[in-house]
Chain A
Amino acid sequence: MAGSGLPSTSNGYYRSLTRNMVLIILVVSVTPLILISGTIGYYFDVSYHAKVLEHLQVLIKKHKQNIDNFLNEKLADIGLLAKSYTFDQLTDEAFLKDRLTLLQEQYGRSFVDLGVVNDQGIQIAYAGPFRLKNADYSKAEWFTKAMHTEAYVSDVFHGLRGLPHFIVSSRQDYRGKKWILRATVDFEAFNSLVENIRIGSTGFAFILNKKGEFQTKPRFEVEAAKEPYVDFLKYDSTPLDDVVVLEKADDAGVEKIHVWSRLKNADWLLAYQQKASDAYAVLTQAQKLTIVIFLIGMGVIIIAAILLAKRLVRHIAKMETEKEMMNEQVIEAGKLASIGELAAGIAHEINNPVAVMVEEAGWIRDLLDEEDLKETANLEEFKRSLNQIQTQGHRCKQITHKLLSFARKTDPTIKLVQVNEVIEDVISLSQQRAMYASVKIETNLDPDLPKVEASPSELQQVFLNMINNSLDAMDSKGGTIEVISRVSGRFVVVDVADTGAGIPKSNLQRIFDPFFTTKPVGKGTGLGLSICYGIMTKMGGDLTVNSAVGLGTTFHIHIPVPALLNDGEILSKRV
């Protein structure tokens, strides 16, 4: 009816339907996705962190043991050497040199030199690449400490030779006097033990002594004083074998993992540090990948949801349009069926006059058979009979005409109609008849009436019928017909009020029934109001009546105003 598209009032409905469908699809499909990936992601994150830290812990523990072993080994070597030979033997420089060569053959270049130091701190025998015989170590820190313990490993220092090294020493007694066998351990050999601990791009290890001095060369610059293990060095409360792990942001806000463990009977600290971002690089990468996959998935779901919803809604809309068309067909079919019923009823109505005509014709024939045509009396009879045939023929014609006007499709094209204009057209048509019946037609039309969507010819038919009915209701004294147009809710209402005889209550129920008429035989068919009622209900309006006997009758014609489109501008574009 109103163009091929969806009904205007439904557009909003379909839009919200689409939106709801998209939302439901999204919620239903994305919620579990988020929950699953969130849960898995969280647990994976936690366990991966734990695994990384655990791995580092194990690694540092292993290296701590390696280093401790290395140092112990050196101590043991020197201790064995000191115990195996006498003071005299070892103060023999040639012998000492032999021992050094032997050690070096056995353990590679890790031993740089050997020396024997007496209790005065004087190196009385020396074998090695430097000229350190008779060097005085009495002021050296390591010497003081070495004299107090049986076996001693010094911190790394530069000493007399000006190179980083540390000393492994073994204290022995000879004739009541203490002496020390000392060996220098090659710093490079030792350093490589720690320097090889490298993980990722930022992971490295180093050794600190209790003063926070580096015992190895750190791969990157580290400010020992600022690192968290300084405190640890000062208050060493943790057991010796513990490996401590700490994640902490440095001054620059970079999250770092620190792992440390004590070495050399808590004298030294093996520390490892790595940027957290580096340690968890794989995890971060996995998370990034997951997020990308998730976002792509979301995008696909959203697109799919929108496409699916749109397709479904299009389908629904199509079905509904089809349904509407079907409804129209059903109404049409119902109308046809009622026309069939009417036709059956009318057949009898028509039959009677036709029968009369036939009988009258037969009567003329009878007379023609029996009597002389030229006799005046019979001629009169012919005339009367023919008159009758004519009258009845006219009646038949009238009924068929009305019947056709019911069955006939009036031009049903829907247009934008200004109801007031239609009313004025119709009144001008009826004006002549009203004048003869001495009826005054007054109008009271609302000038701000919204336009309605209707078939103008149908509206004309309804209004004309109403006015004709009102004219018929008035007796010879005449009266007034008032036509009022107004807006009431979503309807344009046209009231047609007459000052006629009114309709008795018993008839009021039946006035819209087909073939109900109170007009004299031959004057009305009883179809007019029933046709009007059909037209109004079909367009979604209504036709109601108020009547008081003796005062008059008012018909109310309710014409629906198209929803949301009161503005003629928008509507006219669409129509």
Chain B
Amino acid sequence: MRNFEYTRAANTEQAIAFHAQSPSSFLAGGTTLLDLMKIDIMRPQRVVDVNKLPLNRIEVLDDGRVRIGAMVSNTALARDPHIVRHYPVLSQALLSGASTQLRNKATTAGNVMQRVRCGYFRDGVSPCNKRDPGSGCSAIEGFNRSVHAVLGTSEQCIASHPSDMCVAMAAIGATVHVQGTKGARDIDFLDFHLLPGNTPWKEHALQDDELITHIVLDAPIAGSKSAYLKLRDRASYQFALASCAAILAIDGGRIRDARLALGGVGTKPWRAKQAEAALIGQAPGEAAFRQAAALALQGAHPYKYNAYKIPLGQQAIVRNLHTLIA
């Protein structure tokens, strides 16, 4: 690993002030940043350690929303009794990601900021527009079976977003609270991650001077059930080929409210609003679920080795919705 200037921030203001002095990276759990620094993909001259920041609390707000500190570990969030009870989809998504040790290190904000697992991004030599803007995308014509998307891709990048947690948050609805030199602002979770388009190196809506301080979950939908289903090459410790976060509220044999988001198949955590709308008012069951699944993957663009993700993504939706009415 190249060396760098290291600073430990005691509070948010200090972290932002250090960061503003010259370009640097915030270091939280380190499971992405240090990994990518070791293989020389990320090369910060300065690192601001935010591990001592007092942002490690989970608070239930008066209006039913839940405010999660940026530094809350993935393990702590997954095991929090309020999350387990009111947002099972989030707890399940977190526990399906990475390994016990990595979840102990990884943080809520760090999970949101994690980078893609595309082998061409990580190899340091292949053309990759994320790593070396303008050099091209090796994955489009290359080996694109497992960590490449069919939704939200562009001619410049097809890497899928690797997070499970973010898929659950996209379904629940959330707000990302950020703080910068000019003050604090809120970003809708669905607007936080950016589609690759013609600028795949721009992955999120943060300005250079901004730090994520909290993520606030929308209040749970009254009377709803939720679940996360992750399909992958092995039973544990593997990124999703396709995954589904689903929330369903049923009244009098009809679907009152529905939320669907997909992982593994999109270039960002993929909320399927059109499919949700099609479920409202329907009788829950195979027919309605199939229709929603077809809508969710409508317009998907298959590549040489990942066309299977279109039926697999649909199947993840159907199977997961069935678990909610079982």
A, B co-complexed:
no
- Chain A residues within CB distance 8 Å of chain B: none
